[in-house]
Amino acid sequence: MTDTFPLADLGWAPDFLRQLTLDEIATLTPCRISAVHRNRIEALCPTGPLSLLPPAGLSTAEIAVGDWGLCDCGLSDGPRLLRLLTRRSTLARRAAGTGADRQLIAANVDTLFIVTSCNADFNPARIERYLALARAAAVAPVLVLTKADIPPDPAAWQDRAAAIDRRVPVVPLDARAPGDSLSDWCRPGQTVALLGSSGVGKTTLANALTGEVQATAAIREDDAKGRHTTTGRHLHRLAQGGWLIDTPGMRELRLSDAGAGIAATFDDLDALAGACRFADCNHQTEPGCAVQAAIGAGTVDPARLARWQKLRREDRINSETLAEAHARDRAFGKRTRAALRDKSRLRGT
Ligand SMILES: Nc1nc2c(ncn2[C@@H]2O[C@H](COP(=O)(O)OP(=O)(O)O)[C@@H](O)[C@H]2O)c(=O)[nH]1
Ligand SMILES: [Mg+2]
């Protein structure tokens, strides 16, 4: 393996180049972030891996693996990242319990492999949640069905997966030997990430695609000082060209701020809702509900409506700020107390 990385192989594209001034083109070096530590950033640039000082005035919490940046390699105190370029896509999550804080998981991912198995793990609601998440992040989703080598009937799972969203490619495979089944997305300049529940074969597939052998045990996060591998710890080179981003946060992604992604995943229901008589229709018993009419006519599956509504509730709750959550709790407490008062009044106590 060579230690140099032509820009195009790293994922450099015209929409990044357009963000540079002529002066920056002449004096600075584009680099792709491969690991982010508290006071230090690892990056890959055409001449090889670099350890960079963070930009003045920018917290490393605002930098993600996969980000493109510009570094100045001519400084006396060592190379420094000067600024980040605008991302094509951002995978982020709300930091648990802290309200609006966003934690960056990965940047500039082109394709999200949503991994599920041809067995009891297969769950349409979970797949739709991941589709919404991918679309909210501006990443193209692909459904990967692992364990397709295990009988009885992988083709049936493929049909079920295709029925969830006809626009999304479905690829059944054996994660231990994917061959070139994912080569449309795993090629020079492309960046992919894997998402799926535990046990579906993400590590197995990552190992097969990278040719690396990753321990299945968790990697310790804070002991990386001084350790350097050619490709950094979270940006892995794919055997067929391209990159796999595998940050610990990928495993804990959940839905938040995904309204647009949910609308895109359920665009049929979203369009119908626009035709309801009431703008705030709940699609239950309201008169003039276009969604219920479609269910009556047999063109919409009521289970799909239930999954859509559940995802929207989940997204709303996960997206609200701490102040909104408190307001919701207060309103709930008020309603509960009022209900209890009514109940005791009825009982005459
Ligand atoms: N037969 C078969 N076994 C698989 C496949 N994918 C994963 N496995 C096995 O399933 C188990 C869990 O896989 P792993 O990669 O650790 O799942 P992860 O938790 O998603 O990373 C391991 O024993 C794998 O060997 C597959 O496509 N076919
Ligand atoms: Mg794993």
Ligand 1 pocket, residues with Cβ under 6 angstroms: 146-147, 149-150, 174-176, 196, 198-204, 216
Q: What is the dihedral of CA 296, 301, 307, 311, to 10 degrees?
A: -80
Whether the pLDDT of residue 204 is over 60: the answer is yes
Mutate which of 158, 204, 205 to test ligand 1's pocket (most atoms within 8 Å of Cβ)?
204
Distance CA 179, CA 331 (A): 55
The DSSP code for 32 is: E
- Tell me if 315 sits within 8 A of 133, measured CB to CB: no
CATH numbers and ranges of domains, the chain: 7-84 (2.40.50.140), 95-246 (3.40.50.300), 259-334 (1.10.40.50)
**What proportion of the chain, given as a percentage, has pLDDT over 70?**
90
Taking CA atoms, 220 is separated from 215, 217, 253, in Å, by 11, 9, 19
Question: Which atom of ligand 1 is nearest the CA belonging to 205?
Answer: 15
Question: Which atom of ligand 1 is nearest the CA belonging to 200?
Answer: 20
User: What are the φ/ψ torsions at residue 140 (nearest 5 degrees)?
Assistant: -80, 125
CA of 249 to the centre of ligand 1 (A): 20
- A 10 A CB-CB count for 324 gives 14
DSSP 117-176: ESSTT--HHHHHHHHHHHHHTT-EEEEEEE-TTSSS-HHHHHHHHHHH-TTS-EEE--TT
Q: Which residue has the higher pLDDT, 226 or 294?
A: 294
Residue nearest to atom 7 of ligand 1 (CA): 201
Residue nearest to atom 2 of ligand 1 (CA): 147
Residue nearest to atom 25 of ligand 1 (CA): 204
Length of the chain measured in residues: 349
> pLDDT tens across 294-349, in order?
999 999 999 999 999 999 998 888 887 666 767 777 777 777 778 777 777 767 65
3-class SS at 279?
coil
Residues flanking ion ligand 2, Cβ below 5 Å: 202-203
The number of the ligand nearest the C-alpha atom of 217 reads: 2
**What proportion of the chain, given as a percentage, has pLDDT over 90?**
63
pLDDT band at 66 (very low <50, low <70, confident <90, very high): very high
- A 10 A CB-CB count for 28 gives 19
Residue nearest to atom 10 of ligand 1 (CA): 201
The chain-wide mean pLDDT, for the chain, equals 87
pTM as predicted = 0.85
- A 10 A CB-CB count for 77 gives 6
User: What are the φ/ψ torsions at residue 105 (nearest 5 degrees)?
Assistant: -110, -45
